[in-house]
Structure 1
Amino acid sequence: MKDIQMLHKGKIVRGQITYDQTDLLEVKLDKTDTFRNGEEVTVLGFERKHQMRVLRVTPFKVLFAPADSEVFQIDISKDEAYEDLVYDDSKKFTSFRLNTYATISEDFRTFAVRVTDVSRLGFGFEINDFSVKMNHVYDSMIICDEVTIHPKLVVRYAHILEKTIRYGAEIHHITPGDLSRLRYYIVTRQFVTV
């Protein structure tokens, strides 16, 4: 294991790299309780200086992703209207492929869906049902390995494919904990599907 130094909250923290790739850095530390998901940290070592963000904290390890990673752009839509982002051909967004199952529900009706991808625009999912309402807020439960997350989604578009219907849903609300679990799941899924 290689030694590394990090600048965190004005202090130098020393650790050992247990995994080092372009999109993911795992560092073993004696003490991890001062790190919080989403925090920026400057990683120093091997003649490089990188701005990283905390992706996940465990009792003895911290996982980092580059601070400018598109995965940190996934959040609740705040500034621009969804339609402005979707229909602006000059803007390109990274879409992360997923293949997981979920449910969307309203009142007493629940639909089982397959989530195909996620981007800063929201989730893409497929279902064989025309009764999903446009511009409607749905409660959802998305399976992310051993945990589930529960964002509220607003369905914004539908596209009829040969055997299914593809819907796009904007993130209306998501808790910070669920957002952190989603980002970690996205990054780890990219290594599984390669």
Structure 2
Amino acid sequence: MRIALNIKLLFLLLFCGITFCNAQEIPGGNDDFNDDPETVFFNLEIFRPVGIGNSFLAKDYNDGAGLAFDFNWFFLPQFTLGTHINIFGSSVKNQSAVGNIQKTSVSIFGLTAGYYHEMDRHWNLHATAGFGALNYRNTAPEDKFSESGTSYWVQVQVAYRFNKTVAVYFKMEPRLDRLKIMAPAGLDDYFNRHYILSPGFGLRLNFHNPGG
């Protein structure tokens, strides 16, 4: 129930933020930014994952900042396909619950599909959904071992564009990580279902196809 409430609150905040940005009309039109059609853009971002719910990542770890990299290609004027890579580290705060593990590195490599909307000359919105291969690499004093799974996420980025090439953005991302750890039925959610909420900000580089 609390997870559902948090997700509903997230989407309410995103809707309010998008509505506010859409109301900020900046005179001047789009001509100087969009003389040539955009072909691809790249994102480099820092994010802060927050585990929610009753999983070991939410209850028994301290999550650190993460890094992400996106590649996006306009296969239609307002629709994108792309790839997404991110990684963050997490240290154990309750070793009695998770055993001898000291820290865990979480990484994903995935595919995304998105919708891109220009609100005015400077502000734009990029909403994506994606899934990808998931890896939790655990470090213990005597060993290192990994757990694999699949990650699913949706992401909304609100960006401010300085010129044709450079923009900065704020993003919010709810995400579900599903692992494949063998666990008793009553502990399956604790070990294998991790809900993560990730606010972040980043730098975007847009590239154009002159005359295309």
Q: Specify the TM-score bucket, using the shorter chain as the normaliser.
A: under 0.3
Structure (1 or 2) with the greater helix fraction: 2
Structure (1 or 2) with the greater strand fraction: 2
TM-score normalised over the length of structure 1? 0.27
TM-score normalised over the length of structure 2? 0.25
Structure with more relative contact order (C-alpha pairs < 8 Å, separation 6 or more)? 2
